[in-house]
Structure 1
Amino acid sequence: MSTLLLAPLLLGAPAASAAPAVTPSDPLATTASAQVLDWLAHLPGRAGSRVVSGLFGGYSGSAFSLAQTEDLKAQTGRYPGLIACDYASDGSSTIDSSCNADLKNWWARGGLVSVSVHAPNPVQPDLKGLYTHLENFQQLTDPTTTVGAAWLRTLDRTAAGLADLDSAGVPVLFRPLHEMNTSGANAFWWSGQDRAAYIAVWQYTYRYLTRTKNLHNLLWVYSPLCGAGDRAAYYPGAAYTDVVGLDCYPTDPAAAQGYGELTALHKPFAFAEIGPPNDPTTHVPAPGSYDYGRWADAIRTRFPATTYFLAWNDKWSPTVQLGASTLMNDRWTVGLGGIKLSALTDPPGPPRPPAPGVLLEGFENGPDGWGGWQTLHGPWSVDEWASQQSRSLKADIDLTRPETYLNKVAPQDLSGYATLSVDVRTAPWGDQAAGTSAKLYLRTGAGATWYDSGPTVVGPDGAVLTMPLAGVADLSDVREIGVRFAPAPGASGQSSVYVDNVTATRPATTLGDYETGTTEGWSGWLTLHGPWAVDEWSAQGSHSLKADVQLEKGESFLLQHYATPVDLTGRLTLTATARTAPWGDQRTGTKAKLYVKAGAACDWYDGGTYPVDSNSTQLHFNLARVPDLTKVCEIGADFVPADGANGQSSVYLDAVAVR
């Protein structure tokens, strides 16, 4: 790369720096454990694949098997990158670690492993006891008590299994005492306890296994249930935790709750369990009733900090549901063979694409001017549920009333937006009968004309309501935005409804699609020939922009320079699709980045590099990083061949747009 030639383009660009290492909570952690944590922590910012796939193998000694892992490979062509075992055996009556042989083999094959423990109840060590609330929970930290002595025996048996893995050099994502934020009939014996007591038990367990038992191969995973409240309330602290995760079984993955609360703890984030919700009658999901493929889109668009996910097995498994291939073969998914710990020194890749929306209401500081009609009480801003960040809007309702509204009556201008969306939820209490439906609506113009999204049945898992704004008149004169909740016939009792994340999304504005058969004012720099508008490849329509390049000469640019700067104020994302030709010696491959030059000095800003090849790759640039979008003098794509690349090739660009 020629520094002299690039100097004008890089004016004002910040110097690149290596991402800081993320270290385990245990200062004596093994080298392999430290490498795994650091690699996972930086995975969301790397180019290419970014989320490790995982599958639960079962309970050790009774039901653990890699058969479903093989089924997943047969269906999708991909092995998961992570497998998990639970040391509970025979309905949590004892501790068994016979799954270790498979875990060791998986690590040797280049995969990651996780261990959870549905630990036996110290007072009632059987399946029923697993779901029986433990009184005197605080005694777990006192080995002189009957409860504490039983807990110590459980820890000793667990430590023996973990020590076997430690001797084999296997790092373990260790997930004890999970879903602690639940209560009721299906809650574990350690769930719903006093928060201070739970934290004390976690810290005692951490110290005993790490210091007394000298186990330094453990990465400690804290994972509350996403469908319940208090998700961060039991957090034992940064000195006792390495990964934070959520156990989630929502109807709609995009509506999974708690992401903002957990990522705010500043630890690597994971979905420690995912799967379909249970059928309320059979208490298990019906085969083929759930689309796992929706998780791929949800992670990319709603939960981009995710480092790994772990799908549950048996009737919850992707192998008996739908969408396994979509999820496992998504461009962000890392399977077995893609976990390259030697890549720890690689520079971080581009940030994940931001959602192209403008948050209208998040309720983090109060009701934001929203009110209610036909409510029993409220609305209020609460922290017991949120789809993003930590708060939402809540109101109590009477399920015998035909409808309830949460709304904001105030003039707003939504002209120029393409869609409106909102996250909604109902509380789990009250007799909902066939379920409460909700619709997002607007009233616009002097006549307060009504427009809505149509009804969607919602429940405690939540749902996302989306309303296209095409065809809505008087968007510059919106008089009211709201959500109408309608209980089903026969519903009775009291319940609550929640609203969060009211977001408006702009339509894309095309800056280059080349469908006219011309370059549309785009040019090239450091290219061999071109550019031209060609019909030999396109990301959409029939044409793209192409230029020939000489690989050994280094980077080349396809760009649009504006003699009169353009104003991109309010735009959040620049996107384009890029490709290289299959010819020429590409060596380890070409990388590309989108950039803009903006401000009075026409300073350079870019979106970070993405690997590109003869398959199409979508490039993203979060324009929030550009301080002055009022004067954009140039946009473009920068293509950088790998060291040692040589010969002639071609680069292509298409579908350049801003939102």
Structure 2
Amino acid sequence: MFQKARAALISALVLAPLVVAVPAASAATAAPSDPQATEATGRVLDWLSHLPGRAGNRVVSGLFGGYSGSAFSLAQTEDLKTRTGQYPGLIACDYGSNGSSTIDSSCNADLKNWSAKGGLVSVSAHVPNPAQPGIQGLYTHLDNFQQLTDPTTTVGAAWQRTLDQIATGLADLNSAGVPVLFRPFHEMNTSGTGAFWWSGQDRATYISVWQYTYRYLTQTKGLHNLLWVYSPLCGAGDRAAYYPGDAYTDVVGLDCYPTDPAAAQGYGELTALHKPFAFAEIGPPNDPTTHVPAPAGYDYGRWADAIRTRFPATTYFLAWNDKWSPTVQLGASALMNDRWTVNLGGINPAARTDPAGPPRPPAPGTALEGFENGLDGWGGWHTLNGPWAVNEWASQQSYSLKADVDLTQPEIYLNKVARQDLSAYSTLSVDARTAPWGNRAAGTTAKLYLRTGADKTWYDSGSTVVGPDGAVLTMSLAGVADLTDVEEIGVRFAPAPGASGQSSVYVDNLTATTPASTLGDFETGLDGWGGWQIKNGPWPVTEWAAQGTHSLKADVQLESGEAFLLRHYATPVDLSGNLTLTATARTAPWGNQAAGTRAKLYVKAGANCDWYDSGTYPVDANGTQLYFNLARVPDLTKVCELGVDFVPAAGANGQSSVYLDAVSMR
């Protein structure tokens, strides 16, 4: 947060079901943007990218240690340990020192020690203004920003000297084998009083400066220990507009200081870039008069709830220090000891067991079994001992189901043999894990399965490799016969050839989800939908569809600005009981889209038909799924309108078309 940085620097100057034989799922590896990245650096990125698919601990905790030099200290880290019993998993240092008039990397000694203890390391830099060094220059807009890429200019030469100083510090970490989450030019999407000198610049110029900096440090200076973190401010717009590109970025994040963490904006925009997502800074908002937060009035525990319910693709968070620190605010223990939080001692980049892929929002569901009150009717087959309900590991709440196993057995089952009716559900999932002990060889696989009907026909999810991190097994129930007569449900574990010794297996959080309520599939007409600020239409068409054969289309004039496809209810309807609203939106490939069109799902609800929305997503001719968590809509009993707001970029012109399909609630 720019006001926070200013105050701190002045004062001190984070399947359709498959039947029987299915090949084991392969876990894709996330590759760094730098093809020459060190092996250790690649492992960190790969591990982070797979965290959202883990069961249980899946979000790394972090704390800012301060500005390098006299303001950097691990004292608040020790205080956090005293208060919560936990050290953060990640420590960050800023190379901007002494009011950002110089570059200082003396914090490297602590960063190297932290890395040696198994922690992650991040470096940011409130770098001096090449035209006006010092604290005042940090907040003075640089008019000749484009000259940073030209070392023959005065500004470019000064920037080159700064880069060389930064490179010296990063090279020291590189020599020590320390991977670095490097976060330059943060909060670039702000402008005006209090914004940094690199903020509010021309977007194309900002991108070229980022790419120049990337090439200089990575290629010219040979620094291959860097994971590049792009982090706009969530409280301002254009959060994805300055994105430097996939080839120059490894992690995307948000700097967020909202009163209510669940209201943080920009998650959808950033996760749509399909890079690991983080909250690169979090903390309480500033008082507008004092530019510092109110003392001990902010509950950090709400961040744990927000991440689990609103931002499940989060891989790490970084709490700010000093007056923003969880050590002087509330809720530190709730955040650091949350079941999703990974602290120092829990980071193991060599252990990644779940399949990778773009972040997915959580599906609301009904918990069938959580083992909080015992076995819930479950037993085991080919187990050595157990099963028992235990609290040594759980993906949700406190307990899971555990059994001791012999890894030389070809298969082991934890299951429930009892007739059940699952006909009301569309998807089934469960969290599975193996203990870290025993020789697991190439790894144990697991599959969620059902046996239904008089013949006890077998259906399963397909195999997924599971390990001590845990993994989520998911199975679509579409096409499963006799769901009214489920005779058995369970998890089959299969040790790899060559595995030996004794180990344990666990399951938790068996959850079923209900089918979505369709609000618009447009297969037989408009489904009550219309448009506003459009040129022609809307019509149901067959030229594109996200599912089925039809979608809703309208012609738009791009320079006219926003266009809406919407469903208005003359008499408000009750949509309570639904947790999510989803839809797929698309733009036509024709027309001058400039920097691209963005779209947001919205709901108008309550006595005054108040507006609530999902935040914006980039949309193009490929189509984009939009997701809106309805927990933030206070009165779904009176919904008067819902729809999609399409917003062309500045400079867009000409005629184009927009499309909508697969609108549903669940």
With normalisation by structure 2, the TM-score equals 0.63
State how far apart, in whole Å, the 1-side matches of 2:401 and 2:181 are.
47
- What displacement does 1:267 show? 1.4
Matched, 1:301 2:154: no
Aligned residue-pair number: 481
Q: Is the 8 A contact 1:80 1:335 kept in 2?
A: yes
Gap change, CA 1:596 and 1:310, over 3 Å in 2: farther
Map 1:87-106; keep pairs closer than 5 Å: 87-106=95-114
Tell me the equivalent position of 2:195.
Answer: 187
Map 1:390-405; keep pairs closer than 5 Å: none
State how far apart, in whole Å, the 2-side matches of 1:546 and 1:265 are.
37
- What displacement does 1:297 show? 2.1
Matched, 1:56 2:58: no
Tell me the equivalent position of 1:628.
Answer: 479
Q: Is the 8 A contact 2:59 2:340 kept in 1?
A: yes
Map 1:11-410; keep pairs closer than 5 Å: 11-12=19-20, 14-344=22-352, 346=353, 348=355, 355-357=362-364
Q: Is the 8 A contact 2:57 2:341 kept in 1?
A: yes
Gap change, CA 1:353 and 1:78, over 3 Å in 2: farther
Q: Is the 8 A contact 2:65 2:76 kept in 1?
A: yes
Tell me the equivalent position of 2:412.
Answer: 555
Q: Is the 8 A contact 1:273 1:310 kept in 2?
A: yes
Return the letter of the residue paired with 2:117.
R
State how far apart, in whole Å, the 2-side matches of 1:528 and 1:254 are.
45
State how far apart, in whole Å, the 2-side matches of 1:621 and 1:555 are.
16
Deviations 1:96-119 (A, max 9, x none): 111111111111111111110111
Gap change, CA 1:323 and 1:59, over 3 Å in 2: same
State how far apart, in whole Å, the 1-side matches of 2:449 and 2:103 are.
55
State how far apart, in whole Å, the 2-side matches of 1:95 and 1:195 are.
26
Q: Is the 8 A contact 2:58 2:340 kept in 1?
A: yes
State how far apart, in whole Å, the 2-side matches of 1:318 and 1:136 are.
39
- What displacement does 1:67 show? 0.5
The SS at the match of 2:148 is helix
- What displacement does 1:596 show? 3.9
State how far apart, in whole Å, the 1-side matches of 2:277 and 2:69 are.
30
State how far apart, in whole Å, the 1-side matches of 2:265 and 2:161 are.
35
State how far apart, in whole Å, the 1-side matches of 2:405 and 2:59 are.
34
State how far apart, in whole Å, the 1-side matches of 2:404 and 2:351 are.
29
State how far apart, in whole Å, the 1-side matches of 2:379 and 2:37 are.
53
Return the letter of the residue paired with 1:628.
G
Tell me the equivalent position of 1:460.
Answer: none
Q: Is the 8 A contact 1:511 1:657 kept in 2?
A: no
Gap change, CA 1:607 and 1:275, over 3 Å in 2: farther
The SS at the match of 2:208 is helix
Deviations 1:65-95 (A, max 9, x none): 0111111111111111111100001111111
Deviations 1:246-276 (A, max 9, x none): 1111122222211121111121111111111
State how far apart, in whole Å, the 1-side matches of 2:500 and 2:37 are.
38
Gap change, CA 1:652 and 1:30, over 3 Å in 2: closer
Q: Is the 8 A contact 2:29 2:356 kept in 1?
A: no
Gap change, CA 1:657 and 1:23, over 3 Å in 2: closer
Q: Is the 8 A contact 1:81 1:334 kept in 2?
A: yes
The SS at the match of 2:32 is coil
State how far apart, in whole Å, the 2-side matches of 1:280 and 1:166 are.
40
State how far apart, in whole Å, the 1-side matches of 2:191 and 2:512 are.
48
Q: Is the 8 A contact 1:48 1:610 kept in 2?
A: no
Map 1:420-431; keep pairs closer than 5 Å: none
Return the letter of the residue paired with 1:336.
L
Matched, 1:604 2:460: yes
Return the letter of the residue paired with 1:604.
D
Q: Is the 8 A contact 1:57 1:85 kept in 2?
A: yes
With normalisation by structure 1, the TM-score equals 0.63
State how far apart, in whole Å, the 1-side matches of 2:241 and 2:323 are.
31
Gap change, CA 1:546 and 1:45, over 3 Å in 2: closer
- What displacement does 1:645 show? 5.4
Q: Is the 8 A contact 1:47 1:350 kept in 2?
A: no
The SS at the match of 2:351 is helix
Return the letter of the residue paired with 1:638.
V
Return the letter of the residue paired with 1:21.
T
Matched, 1:637 2:490: yes
Tell me the equivalent position of 2:579.
Answer: none
Return the letter of the residue paired with 1:559.
K
Q: Is the 8 A contact 2:49 2:356 kept in 1?
A: no
Gap change, CA 1:54 and 1:42, over 3 Å in 2: same
Q: Is the 8 A contact 2:369 2:509 kept in 1?
A: no
Deviations 1:358-415 (A, max 9, x none): xxxxxxxxxxxxxxxxxxxxxxxxxxxxxxxxxxxxxxxxxxxxxxxxxxxxxxxxxx
The SS at the match of 1:153 is helix
Gap change, CA 1:551 and 1:568, over 3 Å in 2: farther
Gap change, CA 1:44 and 1:328, over 3 Å in 2: same
Deviations 1:602-656 (A, max 9, x none): 521279677799xxx9x96655x44436743355232649754559x99898987
The SS at the match of 1:273 is strand
Gap change, CA 1:318 and 1:526, over 3 Å in 2: same
The SS at the match of 1:267 is coil
- What displacement does 1:127 show? 1.2
Tell me the equivalent position of 1:567.
Answer: 423
- The worse-fitting range, judged by mean Cα deviation, of 283-292 and 237-246 is 283-292
Gap change, CA 1:641 and 1:322, over 3 Å in 2: farther
- What displacement does 1:280 show? 2.5
The SS at the match of 1:83 is strand
Segments of 5+ residues of structure 1 without an aligned counterpart are 1-8, 358-505
Query: RMSD of the TM alignment (CA)?
Result: 4.2
- What displacement does 1:11 show? 3.8
The SS at the match of 1:161 is helix
The SS at the match of 1:343 is coil
Gap change, CA 1:148 and 1:607, over 3 Å in 2: same
State how far apart, in whole Å, the 2-side matches of 1:526 and 1:285 are.
58
State how far apart, in whole Å, the 2-side matches of 1:16 and 1:167 are.
39
Gap change, CA 1:650 and 1:263, over 3 Å in 2: closer
Return the letter of the residue paired with 1:206.
Y
State how far apart, in whole Å, the 2-side matches of 1:518 and 1:159 are.
57
